Structure 1
């Protein structure tokens, strides 16, 4: 099994130090008493506001589960948090457009599409999931990307980010789609698994988590050969680097402008939740199952491979902007026609 890395950046606020100068009298006078400093008034606590959040079933919602459970238990009262889990990105778009949700966990490219379609009406506040795509096979013939030469890759997601991510990794390793590697597109992940099971041995499948784990429970001979997130990272050069990214959290721009303290509080809770899920996989998996995101047994095996993170600020901007540029080079419509401007990135 290949090694995997996890990235975690917790959003926080820096603290500044104050220097006080002592007052003394002239040489022929006794030192005067230090001037009394006026008592600082405590900062006014921001009034709690409703924060409506929507997430998708799958990895992009997994990092939220501890946050959600704390809210349900009544342990977080700084704002009025509420959550809903939906099955399709198509359900999120109208909620954002109508102002019926404030924060949403969505596919990375959809965040860019919404930014363009709503005339800069959303901002990205965090990367919540890095790549979840894996090359799988029945056997052990694939140890590196170049070993894919001469093979057929069965995959689903044509015309969307899985296609663009796969092509980018192949091209960066000198493989030409249609010549060195064939890609056969299927409508469902299960079809890809069935295809490699009945192939002559020169076929592999590109599958996402947690479906990889689900497939392995049905056929324990399926082997993860390549982590496409690691392969993406391996071909990055220069100072500006991108990452393969699956999901992000976005906020309505109007909500962020009116309630910056609520957005910052949300990010702090979110980061703590991601930390908990990654460090307490069994407990996190039970919460994932309890919210009907995926079954707990699948979640426990899948969480370590789902690259759940909370990356914010400048690092978020560097990684995400580079990723969106890669997508735009292959198909501008994948990002809504144009890569977003700097105002897309909250806190960067």
Structure 2
């Protein structure tokens, strides 16, 4: 059975404390042993943000049968902010949480019993601006005010890092206007408060659709994944976000393998974009089907275990740490952070 609830009403600041995760299954997810001695979870509590990068695969997560022998039900909640996410991890209230990739590194370095299961999202950040601005690329932003959501978090960090690597002074070459979340930034763009805005998917695609409805013309001015490739000399992708779980569950190879298989099946279905899958995602997440089709190819969804993604993650962490080492807890985390694929 799958249950879905919402944490959108939760708020809170400065929730990162020295507390650690409980050294057992999270609250509400009590485990019992079956006849073979295997641990059976009454429930697997999953927490994700509302962006389609996670909402899309989670629409069908838990339906493929890989978890049936190990889990009674899968419950799905949304976290409303990174502070709420950190609280869930610190208080042992989640079994599997979608996370910006630097969050488990930060918490692990502070002694929290959390592990990085896999990377799922490989970059989906864009600058949205007026039609015609794409021809100039980044230069279109010079001297302009750019809305950026989630100060100090992933959209802000990536944007500032790339500008710095391109030789920009973020204090004088443009004005960064910070917004709490993507929806607030999107609202500022559509009302004309800012002319440009950094947005992840699916808010980036929603901005284009809503602007068209209002008779406005916007486009993707900059693909930040392509800028990343030009800066690093690598691929047009980066390990943006993944899934974390408490150590007590990460030590169970049977459960880890089952979750990875379930995630891969869900991501494969999303990437295949069958009409049935698109309609289900549209219905559950209240996003128009045409927007879902537009968004999916840009989500860059691929399940790569934490251990297999380690090299790319360490490169990513090292680059982000040039902005602020505290982002990853002061130094690169030990290898124990990264969960290996046991299958």
TM-align CA RMSD: 2.9
* Partner Cα separation in structure 2 for residue 86 and residue 114 of structure 1: 20
Cα distance, 1:53–1:232 mapped onto 2, change above 3 Å: farther
CA contact (8 A) 2:126 2:222 kept: yes
CA contact (8 A) 1:111 1:248 kept: no
Gaps of 5+ in 2: 1-35
**C-alpha displacement at 1:277, in angstroms?**
0.4
* Partner Cα separation in structure 2 for residue 90 and residue 149 of structure 1: 32
CA contact (8 A) 2:138 2:221 kept: no
Segments of 4+ moved more than 6 angstroms: none
Cα distance, 1:93–1:295 mapped onto 2, change above 3 Å: farther
Following superposition of structure 1 onto structure 2, how do residues 136-215 of structure 1 map, counting pairs within 5 Å? 136-143=128-135, 144-187=137-180, 188-194=184-190, 197=192, 203-215=195-207
2:327 matched to which residue of 1? 334
2:317 matched to which residue of 1? 324
* Partner Cα separation in structure 2 for residue 138 and residue 299 of structure 1: 22
CA contact (8 A) 1:281 1:300 kept: no
**C-alpha displacement at 1:255, in angstroms?**
1.5
TM-score by length of 1: 0.74
* Partner Cα separation in structure 2 for residue 336 and residue 60 of structure 1: 25
**Corresponding position: 1:247 with 2:230:** no
Q: Which has the higher contact order (CA 8 A, sep 6+)?
A: 1
1:78 matched to which residue of 2? 69
Following superposition of structure 1 onto structure 2, how do residues 1-348 of structure 1 map, counting pairs within 5 Å? 47=38, 49-50=40-41, 52-56=44-48, 57-58=50-51, 59-70=53-64, 77-80=68-71, 81-88=73-80, 89-117=82-110, 119-143=111-135, 144-187=137-180, 188-194=184-190, 197=192, 203-220=195-212, 221-237=217-233, 243-257=237-251, 259-280=252-273, 282-292=275-285, 294=287, 296-347=289-340
Equivalent pairs counted in the alignment come to 294
Gaps of 5+ in 1: 1-44
| Larger-Rg structure | 1
What SS does the corresponding residue of 2:326 show, helix, strand or coil?
helix
**C-alpha displacement at 1:295, in angstroms?**
5.4
TM-score by length of 2: 0.75
